[in-house]
Amino acid sequence: MSFQFATRTKGLRSSAIRDLLKVTEMPNMLSLAGGLPTPDSFPLPDLRREADRLLGEFGPRVVQYSATDGMVELRQWLSQHYTVELQRPVAIDGEIVVTHGSQQALDLLAKILVDPGDVVVSESPAYLGAVQAFELFEPRFEVIPGDEHGMKVELLAEQLAAGLRPKLVYVVPNFHNPSGATLSLERRQLLARLADEYELLIVEDDPYGAIRFAGAELPPVAAFTTRVVHLSTFSKVVAPGFRVGWMIGPPEVMAMVARAKQAADLHTATFPQLLLANIVSQPGWLDAQKARIVPMYRERYHALSTALHHIVGDRIRFHHPEGGMFLWTHVDGVADTKQLLTHAVEHGVAFVPGSAFTIDQTPDSKARLSYSALSPEQLGEAVARLARGLAAYDAAR
Ligand SMILES: Cc1ncc(COP(=O)(O)O)c(C=O)c1O
pLDDT tens digits, one per residue of 22-69:
777 788 999 999 889 999 999 999 999 999 999 998 889 899 999 999
Which residue, among 72, 104, 68, 41, has the nearest Cα to 281 in the 3D structure?
Answer: 72
Task: Assess contact for 331 and 346: CB atoms under 8 A.
Answer: no
Predicted TM-score (pTM) of the model is 0.96
Which residue, among 357, 351, 343, has the nearest Cα to 382 in the 3D structure?
Answer: 351
Task: Assess contact for 250 and 280: CB atoms under 8 A.
Answer: no
Ligand 1 mean position, distance from CA 121 (Å): 18
Least confident of 15-24, 182-191, 245-254: 15-24
Architecture of the domain defined by 61-283: 3-Layer(aba) Sandwich (3.40)
pLDDT value at position 58?
83
pLDDT value at position 352?
94
- Assess whether the C-beta atom of 370 lies below 6 angstroms from ligand 1: no
pLDDT value at position 21?
64
CATH topology of domain 7-42+287-396: Aspartate Aminotransferase, domain 1 (3.90.1150)
Least confident of 46-60, 158-172, 253-267: 46-60
pLDDT value at position 16?
63
Ligand 1 mean position, distance from CA 343 (Å): 29
Ligand 1, residues 104, 177, 242: which to mutate, most atoms within 8 A of Cβ? 177
State residue 217 phi and psi, 5-degree precision. Answer: -65, 145
| Confidence tier at 20 by pLDDT (50, 70, 90) | low
pLDDT value at position 15?
65
Domain ranges of the chain: 7-42+287-396, 61-283
- Assess whether the C-beta atom of 179 lies below 6 angstroms from ligand 1: no
- Assess whether the C-beta atom of 123 lies below 6 angstroms from ligand 1: no
Host H or E run for residue 150: strand 150-151
pLDDT tens digits, one per residue of 277-289:
999 999 999 999 9
Q: What is the mean pLDDT of residues 261-278?
A: 97
List, as one string, the DSSP characters of 316-363.
Answer: EEE---SBSSEEEEEETT-S-HHHHHHHHHHTTEE-EEGGGGSTT---
Q: What is the mean pLDDT of residues 361-380?
A: 95
For the chain, give the mean pLDDT. 95
Q: What is the mean pLDDT of residues 320-325?
A: 97
How far is CA 272 from its chain centroid? Answer: 20
pLDDT value at position 7?
86
pLDDT tens digits, one per residue of 83-117:
999 999 999 999 999 999 999 999 999 999 999 99
Alpha-carbon distance of 182 to 175, in angstroms, equals 5
